[in-house]
């Protein structure tokens, strides 16, 4: 009798992959909040705002499984196994990931692994920092004749090497958004410089939408020095393109180069 009660108390195993959006906890979707409201377990990443855990019930188990720059990190294999173990033993697992789960976040790998165990899954998209954060600063991805498309790239590939796609992006007229690239900013800037784009506008936004957000605006040829001077670090979004000139702070930079060319 007691064993039957325990079995009946465990819900059907299911996993919901939820995109938490960037740093501001209010930017999660309503559907994401509803998923958290019914969670038995929440597995969350380092860049997820802790305030979002308040949407989960008091009884829900909350476990950090993210990577930190100066501490322990969980392998993808370990995270996958935790999702399955908790789903089978507790019921509804919410896998809470910053940004959107399918933008450089291994969301497909996690859902695919869960489904290999015939566990019911659901996906709740989130606002990607690649688009949402520049938008909060009135930097559009496309605008008039400035840009007709945009690229979103990782600064480095899985081997830690500079992405080979950066050269093609630098050659285009598109807006180029680079994630996970600030530590290699000098190499990335050099790729744009080689294409004659030393004065292309650049925006760098650290901890986008969070309370400790930092933003600088400059041009390719001096952006590395600006980042050092303002002590900008990860996580940060890099935005290369003429659309950055629409940012209010770029007006003084435009005036400076105008005077320089006249002199």
Q: What is the pLDDT of residues 82-110, one digit of tens each?
A: 999 999 999 999 999 999 999 999 999 99
Q: How many domains does the chain have?
A: 2
Distance, CA of 236 to CA of 179 (rounded, Å)? 7
Q: Residue 174: inside a domain, yes or no?
A: yes
Q: State whether 197 and 90 are in the same domain.
A: no
Extract the tokens encoding 31: 């559907």
Q: State whether 112 and 47 are in the same domain.
A: yes
Q: What is the model's pLDDT at position 260?
A: 60
CATH code of 156's domain: 3.30.950.10
Q: What is the model's pLDDT at position 72?
A: 56
Q: State whether 113 and 166 are in the same domain.
A: no
Q: What is the mean pLDDT of the chain?
A: 92
- Give the domain extent around 242: 129-262
Q: Residue 3: inside a domain, yes or no?
A: no
Q: State whether 120 and 146 are in the same domain.
A: no
Q: Residue 39: inside a domain, yes or no?
A: yes
Partnered with residue 175 across adjacent β-strands are: 150
Q: Is the pTM of this model over 0.85?
A: yes
Q: State whether 162 and 242 are in the same domain.
A: yes
Q: State whether 171 and 190 are in the same domain.
A: yes
Q: What is the model's pLDDT at position 261?
A: 63
The residue assigned the tokens 């957000």 is 213
* pLDDT band with cut points at 50, 70 and 90 for residue 217: very high
pLDDT in tens, 159-213: 999 999 999 999 999 999 999 999 999 999 999 999 999 999 999 999 999 999 9
When pLDDT is averaged across residues 142-170 and rounded to a whole number, the result is 95
% of the chain with per-residue pLDDT over 90: 86
CATH code of 70's domain: 3.40.1010.10
109 three-class SS = helix
Q: Residue 6: inside a domain, yes or no?
A: no
Q: State whether 256 and 149 are in the same domain.
A: yes
Whether the predicted pLDDT of 3 surpasses 60? no
Q: What is the CA radius of gyration of the chain?
A: 21
Q: State whether 243 and 148 are in the same domain.
A: yes
Distance, CA of 252 to CA of 239 (rounded, Å)? 18
Q: State whether 197 and 227 are in the same domain.
A: yes
pLDDT in tens, 26-59: 999 999 999 999 999 999 999 999 999 999 999 9
Cite the beta strand spans of 24-149 per DSSP E.
41-44, 61-64, 92-97, 120-124
For strands 150-154 and 92-97, give the pairing: unpaired
pLDDT in tens, 226-235: 999 999 999 9
Q: State whether 120 and 137 are in the same domain.
A: no
What are the CA-CA distances from residue 247 to residues 157, 169, 187, 199, 240 (Å)?
A: 30, 21, 25, 15, 12
Whether the predicted pLDDT of 65 surpasses 60? yes
Whether the predicted pLDDT of 69 surpasses 90? no
SS3 percent helix, strand, coil of the chain, rounded to 5, is 40, 20, 40
Q: Residue 190: inside a domain, yes or no?
A: yes
Q: Residue 150: inside a domain, yes or no?
A: yes
For strands 236-240 and 175-179, give the pairing: antiparallel
Whether the predicted pLDDT of 9 surpasses 70? no
Q: State whether 140 and 116 are in the same domain.
A: no
Domain boundary among 67, 95, 124: 124
């Amino acid at each position: 009798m007691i064993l039957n009660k325990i079995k009946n108390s465990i819900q059907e195993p299911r996993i919901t992959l939820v995109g938490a959006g960037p740093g501001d906890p209010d930017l999660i979707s309503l559907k994401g909040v509803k998923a958290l409201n019914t969670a038995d377990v929440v597995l969350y990443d380092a860049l997820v705002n802790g305030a979002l855990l308040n949407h989960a019930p008091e009884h829900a188990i909350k476990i950090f499984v993210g990577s930190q720059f100066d501490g322990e990190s969980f392998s993808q294999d370990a995270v996958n196994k935790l999702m399955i173990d908790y789903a089978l033993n507790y019921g509804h697992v919410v896998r809470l990931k910053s940004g959107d789960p399918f933008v450089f976040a291994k969301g497909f790998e996690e859902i695919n692994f869960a489904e290999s165990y015939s566990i019911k899954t659901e996906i709740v998209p989130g606002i990607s920092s690649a688009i949402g954060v520049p938008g909060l600063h009135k930097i559009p991805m496309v605008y008039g004749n400035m840009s007709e498309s945009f690229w979103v790239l990782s600064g480095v590939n899985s081997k830690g090497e500079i992405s080979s796609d950066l050269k093609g992006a630098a050659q285009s007229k598109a807006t180029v958004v680079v994630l996970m690239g600030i530590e290699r900013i000098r190499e990335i800037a050099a790729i744009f410089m080689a294409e004659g784009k030393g004065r292309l506008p650049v925006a760098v936004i650290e901890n986008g939408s969070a309370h400790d957000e930092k933003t600088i605006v400059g041009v390719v040829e001096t952006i590395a020095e600006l980042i050092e001077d303002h002590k900008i670090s990860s996580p940060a979004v890099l935005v290369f393109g003429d659309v950055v000139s629409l940012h209010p702070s770029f007006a003084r930079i435009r005036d400076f180069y105008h005077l320089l060319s006249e002199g």
